[in-house]
């Protein structure tokens, strides 16, 4: 594995749901913001379909608030929502257009998202549709944002400055971010989704989960804690 290049200043994170970033990427975000980098979070949905026992409108409010709180814990001030329907993201031009507009508006050097592959590390589980759809749309939207002849109706000027996209927790991860000293902030950001976890009906230990990933990846590269990413140059 190789370290993720960090000679850049602005990152835009794009994920499907509140809590997607907090399963590992937020520890890297804590490192970056501590170093003075600018990070903005964009979420395609408000996660309103995530709690079976609660009304979606109430869940949307709660999960959005928890995401903002989680972002603050890793140094992120700007959190935006596109309000696409949770659980029903569709790959296509409307989603790509929204993402391309955000990329053109924020003009990031790096885009960060979540694993879009069918499985997780070790071939475990089957990744959910929203993650698969969103990740592919993110990769394509980076190119869309750079091409002035795509989505010509957008008022925002094309942006060709994205150097690469990072996808957290991918089974194809070949890069890492050293999060030694920043793991606690990542754990705190995951714990910020308190009401969501309380309503899942199962025990979940954010500390053990994130430490397991960070320590395992760190041991592979000879440091204490690291988070894995798939890096795609676009």
Q: pLDDT tens-digit profile of 143-174?
A: 999 999 999 999 999 999 999 999 999 999 99
Instruction: Establish how many alpha carbons lie within 13 A of residue 185's alpha carbon, considering only the half-sphere containing its beta carbon.
Output: 20
Give the pTM.
0.96
Please give the pLDDT value at position 59.
96
- Look at residues 154, 133, 129 and name the one whose alpha carbon lies nearest to residue 144: 154
Contact 89, 130 (CB under 8 A): yes
Please give the pLDDT value at position 124.
85
List of the chain residues with pLDDT < 70: none
Q: Which residues pair with residue 232 across a beta bridge?
A: 165
Please give the pLDDT value at position 202.
75
Q: Per the CATH hierarchy, to which homologous superfamily does domain 2-233 belong?
A: LmbE-like (3.40.50.10320)
> What does the mean pLDDT of the chain come to?
96
CA 60, 62, 66, 68 torsion-angle sign = positive
The CA-based angle 160-227-36, given to 5 degrees, is 55
């Amino acid at each position: 594995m190789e370290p993720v290049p960090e000679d850049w200043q602005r990152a835009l994170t794009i994920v499907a749901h509140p809590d997607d970033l907090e399963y590992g990427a937020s520890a890297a975000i804590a490192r970056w913001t501590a170093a003075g980098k600018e990070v903005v979070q964009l979420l395609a949905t408000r996660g309103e379909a995530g709690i079976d026992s609660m009304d979606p409108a109430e869940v949307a409010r709660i999960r959005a608030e928890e995401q903002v709180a989680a972002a603050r814990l890793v140094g992120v001030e700007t959190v935006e929502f596109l309000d696409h329907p949770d659980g029903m993201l569709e790959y296509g031009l409307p989603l790509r257009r929204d993402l391309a507009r955000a990329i053109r508006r924020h003009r990031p050097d790096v885009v960060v998202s979540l694993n879009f592959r069918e499985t997780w590390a070790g071939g475990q589980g089957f990744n959910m549709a929203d993650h698969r759809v969103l990740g592919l749309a993110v990769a394509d939207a980076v190119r869309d944002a750079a091409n002035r002849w795509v989505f010509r109706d957008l008022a925002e000027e094309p942006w060709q400055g994205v150097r690469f996209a990072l996808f957290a927790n991918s089974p194809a991860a070949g890069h890492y971010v050293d999060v030694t000293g920043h793991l606690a902030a990542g754990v705190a950001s995951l714990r910020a989704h308190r009401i969501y976890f309380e309503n899942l009906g199962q025990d979940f230990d954010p500390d053990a989960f994130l430490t397991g990933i960070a320590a395992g990846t760190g041991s592979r590269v000879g440091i204490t804690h690291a988070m894995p990413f798939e890096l795609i140059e676009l």
